[in-house]
Amino acid sequence: MQQFLEATIISVSAQADVAFQRCILPSCGATYGIEDVRVACARCGNLLDVAYDWQRVQSPSSLTAFDAAAIPGTVEAQSGVWRFHRLLPFAQRDQLVTIGEGRTLLQLAGKVAEFVGLKGGKLHLQYEGLNPSGSFKDNGMVAAFTHARTVGARRAACASTGNTSASLAAYCSVTRLLSAVIFIGSGKISYGKLSQALDYGALTIQIAGDFDDAMQRVREVSQQLGIYLVNSVNPFRLEGQKTIMYRVLDGLRWEVPDWIVVPGGNLGNSSAFGKAFAELQHLGLIDRLPRLAVINAAGANTLYELYEKRGLRWNGGQPETDVVDQYYGELDRHQAKASTIASAIEINRPVNLYKCLRALEDMEGVVREVTDQQIMDAKAQVGAGGLGCEPASAASVAGAKVLCDEGVIGPEERVVCILTGHQLKDPDATVAYHTTDQEKFNQVLGRRGVKRASYANRAVAVSNNLEEIIRAIQLYS
């Protein structure tokens, strides 16, 4: 009870006077109030952070403070995001929205550890697919949605490879607080995700183009029509996504792992994770940071190319922006488009690039790329050894394997791979991997360079005959 009272008193006072927005570039450092709706710094055009005057927030003296059970029925009990409200105190407690997000699972994964090359007990999988809309996006959406509510927005928009749109659509349909306008690349999102947006009643704009095109358009449209933008350029989104790391720590009894491995698309998660750990260290709640590995799909490898091949670094807040401009110029000249079976991360122009570079610097990070073959094999292993995931999520496990094979991650190190989306988000990819139908395999996977399905679990076809069915079971079980 004591804990809860303390939390309530703090959260009521914790808002405009303790939270503000600040340009990520230290050399600019422009600040804005939290009521200011913007996705870029007015002075220099860079991304914004939500920042806090931690002196005025009574933050916990130890992470074990979060062990105290919240009172049943309260927002802290219902939400694995707002359970940590004290670490993202930008809204008053009575404004917090929830649909039960963030009640996810950190699982010790023995069988998958073996595949990756880690000793038993060393690999954990964080199942963010267990969120209400089936992906990690709900962690961030609830925060942006709460902010949208506090500023009186009526409509919210996003461009999406499918999960952000499913999440926004779910929050709109459940709460009825806002209406959703979503932009998707035509034919670019999996049916699981498209079906969610349609079923939840979101206005769905299918653009003849890909995610990068949709992203550009939604920025223009939201500005012109005054619609609240919930993509991860919105700094409030990333505040919610910090809590994924708090729950990982909780799952490890508040011990810091050696590595966090996460797929990289628009680079919101990796950016949020870096901020989460930097703040915890600043508050004296942890004494070291884990290392960060961001994994690109080889067909959408902007971060890998810039960070590992061209040596781009955050450089204490002075990144070489020319390197980025030159690379994007090359993409334009070659009319290069992202292409991977992991459609969630089929992105060439990640909007959070600079924030991610900052996280990589803080967390001594590395970036790797993995092929669609590696992604699909890792995905099959995750399915066979646990609750399963969608292709983009499996990039984390495939990337961890690459880093173990290289010796960058040692077999004794404690690794957490983030599984960002639910297995049922993209059943076409899963079925194509396990199918006996070569044509279907080729159509979905073969055309993307996937040659084998080494871990396939093929259905056994038998005629409708009792004896034959029994024979098949005896033969295969």
List residues near ligand F0G by CB under 6 A.
Answer: 135, 137, 160-164, 232, 263-269, 344-345, 390, 392-393, 420-421
Which tokens belong to 255? 């011990």
Closer residue to ligand F0G (CB): 251 or 265: 265
Closer residue to ligand F0G (CB): 19 or 168: 168
Instruction: Give min distance, CB of 343 to ligand F0G, in A.
Output: 9
Instruction: Give min distance, CB of 158 to ligand F0G, in A.
Output: 7
Closer residue to ligand F0G (CB): 150 or 231: 231
Instruction: Give min distance, CB of 159 to ligand F0G, in A.
Output: 7
Which tokens belong to 249? 């720590």
Contacts with 298 (C-beta within 8 Å, 6 or more apart), sequence order: 340, 369, 370, 371, 372
Closer residue to ligand F0G (CB): 136 or 441: 136
Instruction: Give min distance, CB of 349 to ligand F0G, in A.
Output: 11
Contacts with 356 (C-beta within 8 Å, 6 or more apart), sequence order: 264, 267, 270, 271, 274, 294, 303, 350
Closer residue to ligand F0G (CB): 18 or 244: 244
Contacts with 156 (C-beta within 8 Å, 6 or more apart), sequence order: 144, 145, 148, 168, 172, 178, 179, 180, 181, 227, 228, 229, 230
Instruction: Give min distance, CB of 192 to ligand F0G, in A.
Output: 11
Residues 171 and 139 sit within 8 Å (Cβ to Cβ):
no
CA distance 114 to 411: 10
Residue type at 477 in one-letter notation: S
Instruction: Give min distance, CB of 477 to ligand F0G, in A.
Output: 34
Encode burial over 351-369: b for 16+ CB neighbours within 10 A, e otherwise. bbbbbbbbbbbbbebbbbb
Closer residue to ligand F0G (CB): 212 or 361: 212
Instruction: Give min distance, CB of 236 to ligand F0G, in A.
Output: 14
Beta strands in 239-362 (DSSP E): 259-263, 291-297
Look at residue 116 and give its three-state secondary structure.
helix
Closer residue to ligand F0G (CB): 96 or 418: 418
CA distance 337 to 330: 11
